Amino acid sequence: MEQFDELSDCEMHFIIQHSSGQSSDMEGSVYTSVNDPNGNAHPLWSESQHLDFEEVECFRRKLKYFFMNPCEKYKARGRKPWKLLLQIIKIAVITFQLVSFGLSNQMVVTFKEENLMTFRHLFLKDYTDGSADTYAVYTQTDMYDYMGHVIEQFTNLKNISVGNHAYEKADLKYTPLVLCQESYRNGSISPGNETFDIDAQVDVECVKIYPVVPFWNNNNNNNHLANLTLDFKRLLAVNINFTLKAINLQTVQHHELPDCYDFDIMITFNNRAHSGRIKVDLDHNVEIKECKDWNVKGASPRNLVFILFFDTIIILTCLTSLTLCVRSVATGIKLQLEYVNFFATRYNKTVPWSDRMEFINGWYFLIIVSDSLTIIGSIIKIEIQIKNVTSYDICSILLGTGTMLVWIGVLRYMGYFRKYNILIITLRAAFPNVIRFCCCAAMIYLGYCFCGWIVLGPYHEKASITCFILYTK
C-alpha cells in the first residue's frame, strides 16, 4: 500500500500537474540550486539533469495528449476528429439500414402469422379468432367429425383456398397427410370399480392419405377413417402432419424478390389428461427457401442495386471504424507498456492494474464488437437480397444488436459536455449498487413467483398464465 501511495504521488506529479508559467530551464535551475548548497552545479551533471528533465516532460506531454478527448486534441494540435465524424456518419447509415431491413423482415413475419391464422380457419372446424386456448372436442362423434374435416380440407385445398398454397412434391409425387394415434399398448380401465391395468408402453399407428386420391363420396364421408379405431380409454393423442408450400408475393411491390415457404403443419388432438376434454391445437414450422425459378416483369432493379451499394458502403464504413479502433487500442497498450517500464526503471515501482487499465478504453471495444456484428449482419443481408440465403432471424439479431451498441456508444461523446459528463460519472459510480439492488429484488421476485405458482396457479387460470409469462419472457 505504501508503494502504491508513492506511485500515486508520482502520477500526480507527471500527469496531473502542469508547469504553466515556468519554463524547463527555470525548473532545472531551481532543482540544481536545491541540490547544490552553493547554487552551482557541475556543467556535465547539470546538462544531464536538464536532458533527463526534458525526457520526463516529453513523456508527460505524451500522456496528457493521449488522455485528451477529440475536441481537446483539436485545440492542442489542430488534429481534426475524423474518428468522431466517422462514428456520427456510421450511426446515421446503420440506423437507416436497420429500418430498411426491419420493414422487409416485418413482411416476412406478417406472412407467417397470417398463414397460421389461415390454416386454423381452413383445417379446424368452426374455429373463431381468439379461441385457440379453448378450442376442444368433448364427444366421440365430434372427434371423428373434426378429424374428417381436416382430411376433407386437405384433399380439396386447391378448390377452397384463396391463397397460393400447394402440396409438397417429392420425386414427382405429392407428399401425403400422415395421421397417427398414440395410445397405451394394453389397458383395462374401470372407474366404476376403481380398478385399472395399464401397460405404459406407447404404440403409434399411422395412416397416410394422398391428396390425389378422391376422399369424399356421397355414401360414406369417413372411408379413410373406417380402418382407424380410437380406443378413447387408452388414447393419448392424435397427430396430423402435412406440408404445404406458398410464395410471398407482397415483396414484389417493394421491389424485392419473393421467397418460397414450406409450412410443416401439425394438428394435435391432446387426450393425455383423460378428463373428457380433448384439446385441439394447430401449429406450424416455417422454412424459407430460395425459389428455384423466377421471373419478375415490369419492376426496375434499381432499388435492389441501390440497396446492395448502400450495404457495401456500410461494410466499408464499419471496416474503417474497426481499423481505427483497433489501432487506438494498440496505441493504448503500447503506451501502457511504456508507462510501466518508465516507473520500473526510474522509480523501481510496480504500476497497479487499476492504473494500467486506464490506458484501455472500453468504448473502443464496444465499437469493435458493434462494427463486427454490423459487418457480418450486412453480409448476410446482401446474401438475403440476392436470394443466396434466407436467414432473416440471424440477420435481424446481428443488425439489431450492432445498432443498439452503436447508440450506447453515443454516451461516450455525451461525456464531452460537462453536465452530461457529471451524469455519466454518477451512473458509473452507482452501477455496482444498482446491480446489488437488482439481485436483492430478484430474490424477492423469485420467492413471490414460486409461492404464487404453487398456491394460486393451479386454482386460477389467470395466475397460471401470469406465472408462465413471468418465467418464459
pTM: 0.72
| Cα 236 versus chain centre, distance | 38
Closest among 265, 9, 67, 37 to 150, alpha carbons compared = 265
Q: Give the pLDDT of residue 12.
A: 39
Is residue 375 very low, low, confident or very high in pLDDT (cuts 50, 70, 90)?
very high
SS3 314: helix
Give Cβ neighbours of residue 217 (< 8 Å, ≥ 6 apart).
223
- State pLDDT tens for residues 119-172: 999 999 989 888 888 889 999 899 999 999 999 999 888 888 888 899 998 888
Cell numbers that stand for 172 in this block: 414427382
Q: How far apart are CA 102 and CA 225, in angstroms?
A: 46
Q: How far apart are CA 210 and CA 365, in angstroms?
A: 58
Beta partners for residue 267, in sequence order: 240, 282
Which helix (DSSP H) or strand (DSSP E) does residue 284 occupy? Answer: strand 278-289
At residue 284, φ and ψ (nearest 5 deg) are -150, 150
Cell numbers that stand for 428 in this block: 458509473
- State pLDDT tens for residues 307-361: 889 999 999 999 999 998 899 888 888 888 888 888 888 778 888 888 788 888 8
Mean pLDDT, the chain, rounded, equals 80
Cell numbers that stand for 391 in this block: 436467414
SS3 104: helix
Is residue 222 very low, low, confident or very high in pLDDT (cuts 50, 70, 90)?
low
